[in-house]
Amino acid sequence: MASTPLADPALLRDLVIANRILAREGVLDAFGHVSVRHPERPDQYIISRSCGPELVTEDDLQCFTLTGEQVAGNPQPPYAERAIHGAIYEARPEVQAICHNHSPSTIPYGVTGVPLRPIYHMAALLGTEVPIWDIADDFGDTDLLVKTMEQGRSLARTLGPRRVALMRGHGSVVAGRTLREVVICCVYMEQNARLQAQALALGEVRYLSPGEIARMSEALTAPLSSERAWSTWRRRAGFAD
Ligand code: MN
């Protein structure tokens, strides 16, 4: 429906690719979403309409203010939980991309008190501490969905300056400086969560140290690594070069 592009077509293409990769790698299924801040209008962000991520195309994209009013793009219904994105962009000027997901292997860490922590180098982007946001703390019994800016801002406060926060009984948010950083963090968060459960079943776990996390985070976000991951996963998600 959009006759003029919402932003640089290459960025829109990358957002579509990010949707498809995250679906293909088991982070998103029919639910969950990924967004990017508008590069020329930092008080707006771009995200798909309400649609399964593996089906998203450029024609599905919509543009919103940080408080969730649509300003451009596909006229069909938006994601109910877009307040997650607006509230984090509002609180974190350096954040350029966000994924909200229900990545299945992470769910146990939101409900047991066992902290999600990097057990191998590829998951260093999880950082030294992954906080858990419990919607019931501020809002009591809900459907667990983040549907208001007040709820989104509460989640953003728990996230603080970090890249990742778990959402109790629901999923997580991942915020980063680039779409590639967010995608890499999400893919290895899911794998780490599964591997960490296997390790915990075997015995005491030695986690990455804060120094190791810092050094490997630099390596993972450097172009050599991030382009290698992106190009591999985009091909696996069905995009020819
Ligand atoms: Mn959700």
Mean pLDDT of 33-59: 98
When pLDDT is cut at 50, 70 and 90, the band that residue 4 belongs to is: confident
Domain locations along the chain: 9-232
Judged against a pLDDT cut of 90, whether residue 2 lies above it is answered with no
Q: Is the pLDDT of residue 241 over 80?
A: no
Q: Which residue has the higher pLDDT, 17 or 240?
A: 17
Structure confidence by residue, pLDDT tens digits, 223-235: 999 999 999 999 9
Cα of 175 from ligand 1 centre, angstroms: 15
Superfamily of domain 9-232: Class II aldolase/adducin N-terminal domain (3.40.225.10)
Q: Compute, in angstroms, the gap from residue 22 CA to the centroid of ligand 1.
A: 14
How many other C-beta atoms can be found within 10 angstroms of the C-beta atom of residue 14?
A: 19
Distance 146 CA to ligand 1 centre (A): 7
Percent residues over pLDDT 70 in the chain: 98
- What mean pLDDT comes out for the span 89-111? 98
What are the b/e assignments for 84-119, b being 16+ CB within 10 Å?
Answer: bbbbbbbbbeebbbbbbbbbebbbebbeeeeebbbb
> In angstroms, what is the span from residue 62 Cα to ligand 1's centroid?
18
Q: Which of 25, 40, 54, 81 is catalytic?
A: 81
**Distance from Cα 134 to the centre of ligand 1, integer Å:** 13
Separation of CA 140 and ligand 1 centre (Å): 17
Annotated catalytic residue 81 = yes
Q: How confident is the model at residue 3 (pLDDT cuts 50, 70, 90)?
A: low
